[in-house]
């Protein structure tokens, strides 16, 4: 299994508070992604990174920001959490030099915003 961890695995927070989710990989993969999964919507891309300090927006980026200061870590920040951001968040990785079209997913973070 690809070495991807997410922290925390579960979090309950209140509306208006900032929240940061961490994705850590030990595979030295260049590309990293954040998705959210909600019933009836499948997985939707929030932001992605194609290299250290190189990031771009995905389909549902409003209210989220990301940072990638080193290869192994990709942080997702909810600047002011809202109830609509209650979801399961998955991080994924891939690499252009290895099985380019396969993404490996982390175990997910279940976030509840009250």
48 binds another protein (CB under 8 A): yes
Q: Which region among 17-25, 66-74, 79-87, 95-103 touches another protein (by CB under 8 A)?
A: 95-103
**Cβ nearer to another protein, comparing 58 with 63:** 58
8 binds another protein (CB under 8 A): no
CA distance 66 to 41: 22
Name the DSSP letter for residue 17. -
Strand partners for 13: 113
Q: Are 78 and 59 in contact, with CB atoms under 8 Å apart? A: no
**Cβ nearer to another protein, comparing 18 with 107:** 107
The pair of structure tokens assigned to 87 is 């979801």
7 binds another protein (CB under 8 A): no
Closest C-alpha to 65, from 46, 50, 52 = 46
Q: Which region among 10-18, 19-27, 64-72, 90-98 touches another protein (by CB under 8 A)?
A: 90-98
Size of site (CB under 8 A) for another protein: 26
CA distance 87 to 110: 6
Binding site for another protein (CB under 8 A): 31, 33, 35, 40-45, 48, 50, 56, 58-59, 90, 94, 96, 100-108
């Amino acid at each position: 299994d690809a070495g991807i961890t997410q922290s925390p695995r579960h979090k309950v927070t209140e509306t208006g508070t900032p929240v940061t989710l961490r994705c850590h990989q030990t595979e030295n993969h260049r590309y990293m992604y954040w998705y959210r999964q909600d019933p009836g919507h499948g997985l939707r891309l929030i932001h992605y990174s194609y290299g250290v300090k190189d990031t771009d927006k995905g389909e549902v980026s409003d209210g989220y920001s990301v940072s990638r200061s080193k290869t192994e870590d990709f942080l997702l920040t909810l600047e002011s959490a809202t109830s609509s951001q209650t979801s399961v968040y998955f991080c994924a990785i891939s690499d252009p030099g290895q099985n380019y079209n396969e993404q490996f997913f982390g175990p997910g973070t279940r976030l509840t915003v009250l």
